[in-house]
Amino acid sequence: MTSTIVVAHGDADGVCSASLIRAALGEVDVFFSHPAGLLKDVREASEAGYSRMVIVDISLSQPHINELTEVLGSLKKKGVEIVYIDHHPWPFGVGKEVFPGDVYHMVGVSASELTYHYFRGRLEGDIERVALFGAIADYEDVTPWVIDALKRWDKRDVYYEAGILSLGLEGSRRDYDFKRIVVKLLSENTAPSTIDKLVEKAIEESRNNEEMRLRVKENVRVVGRVAYVVNPGGSLGRAAIYAYSYAGAVVGIAVEERKDGHYNMSLRTWKPNVDLNRILRRITPVLGGTGGGHRAAAGARIPIESFPRFLEMLDEALGGGSPWPG
Ligand SMILES: [Mn+2]
């Protein structure tokens, strides 16, 4: 066992962040988690006797925030070093200054870029490429640092590699052992395009996505400024983008029906002044659901019977007038 545990999100931004931490600190144990599971996973990890815990790219979920603060607080009292690096909107009800441990938090920047800056003194310069992959994968590729760093590489290659990485990881959803291998390889600055299994998964995933694009085109429906598609059979985030694109809507939603009577969904918008996180945190609890995320990319889970009302409330929240600028 190593002395550091990294608790990271399992998408490309989380994997790149974990890789940068491994590049900076050497051997680390990597555990993949997500907002709803973070409290439980941190509880379990806290039993294992690590001397350092780095949590990265995982949003602090509102219902768990107080308990999580307690668990981390008692770890800190035991002398465990705690670092939290993230770029999701900060939850209500707890100040960054009272959150236990070292907090490095900012929105509008990928977790990978934050992690790179946080550990900059311990990193080789050319590992910045991994931070660029994570930034591109999380659509945070227009920050001043990313724009500048891209000039030190051929940006076509960087985007190509970032595409293989994010598609390949999306095609490896619950294959955590493989993701840990990717973390190790990226921490050694291996290019994603040289990892055979990642390339295979990426090709498979992009073919699935292309079939899905056509299904979205056929099946997209519109309520006011909102376009939605049910059970697109593929990446919900991408389906949500295709939904608003094909329908000419402000917000796109891709919904997946769950056996427990809920719709799980991803939402996307192209419009800079729309804040999906804020809207979802307000309207989903009223409908017996949960929701949030980033301004332009968010997720929600609501009972199926509430979905028509959800669409109306979302459209209302988007305001009046033409959906198009100008
Ligand atoms: Mn992220």
If asked whether residues 157 and 55 sit together in one domain, one would say yes
pTM of the shown model: 0.89
User: What's the pLDDT band for 1 if we cut at 50, 70, 90?
Assistant: low
DSSP for residue 127: G
What is the distance in A from the centroid of ligand 1 to the CA of 190? 21
48 in a domain, yes or no?
A: yes
What is the distance in A from the centroid of ligand 1 to the CA of 112? 7
| pLDDT score for 45 | 93
What is the distance in A from the centroid of ligand 1 to the CA of 241? 18
What is the distance in A from the centroid of ligand 1 to the CA of 206? 21
Of 187, 203, 225, the one marking the end of a domain is 187
User: What's the pLDDT band for 326 if we cut at 50, 70, 90?
Assistant: very low
| pLDDT score for 300 | 94
If asked whether residues 116 and 234 sit together in one domain, one would say no
Is a pLDDT exceeding 70 seen at residue 324? Answer: no
Percent of the chain scoring above 90 in pLDDT: 89
Say which CATH number the domain at 24 has: 3.90.1640.30
Q: Count of alpha carbons within 13 Å of 82, Cβ hemisphere only?
A: 23
| pLDDT score for 321 | 47
269 in a domain, yes or no?
A: yes
pLDDT in tens, 264-304: 999 999 999 999 999 998 999 999 998 988 899 999 999 99
What is the distance in A from the centroid of ligand 1 to the CA of 34? 11
User: What's the pLDDT band for 188 if we cut at 50, 70, 90?
Assistant: very high
What is the distance in A from the centroid of ligand 1 to the CA of 93? 22
**For residue 113, what are the domain limits?**
4-187
User: What's the pLDDT band for 94 if we cut at 50, 70, 90?
Assistant: confident
If asked whether residues 163 and 264 sit together in one domain, one would say no
What is the distance in A from the centroid of ligand 1 to the CA of 158? 18
| pLDDT score for 176 | 97
DSSP string, 102-125: EEEE-SSS-HHHHHHHHTGGGS-G
Q: What mean pLDDT is predicted for residues 227-238?
A: 94
If asked whether residues 154 and 17 sit together in one domain, one would say yes
pLDDT in tens, 208-226: 999 999 999 999 999 999 9
What is the distance in A from the centroid of ligand 1 to the CA of 282? 22
pLDDT in tens, 97-126: 989 999 999 999 999 999 999 999 999 999
| pLDDT score for 320 | 56
- β-partners of residue 7 are 31, 55
Q: What mean pLDDT is predicted for residues 147-161?
A: 98
Is a pLDDT exceeding 70 seen at residue 323? Answer: no
Q: Which two tokens stand for residue 68?
A: 């999580």
If asked whether residues 36 and 119 sit together in one domain, one would say yes
| pLDDT score for 63 | 79
Task: Name the domain count of the chain.
Answer: 2
**Who's near 57: CB < 8 A, 6+ residues apart?**
8, 9, 11, 13, 14, 17, 85, 86, 87, 111, 112
Is a pLDDT exceeding 80 seen at residue 325? Answer: no
Distances (CA, A) of 46 to 5, 6, 76, 150, 193: 10, 12, 10, 39, 36
248 in a domain, yes or no?
A: yes
| pLDDT score for 152 | 98
What is the distance in A from the centroid of ligand 1 to the CA of 118? 15
Rounded to whole angstroms, the Cα distance separating 254 from 228 reads 6
Is a pLDDT exceeding 60 seen at residue 322? Answer: no
- β-partners of residue 257 are 263
What is the distance in A from the centroid of ligand 1 to the CA of 216? 26
If asked whether residues 141 and 239 sit together in one domain, one would say no
| pLDDT score for 91 | 86
If asked whether residues 132 and 273 sit together in one domain, one would say no
User: What's the pLDDT band for 311 if we cut at 50, 70, 90?
Assistant: very high
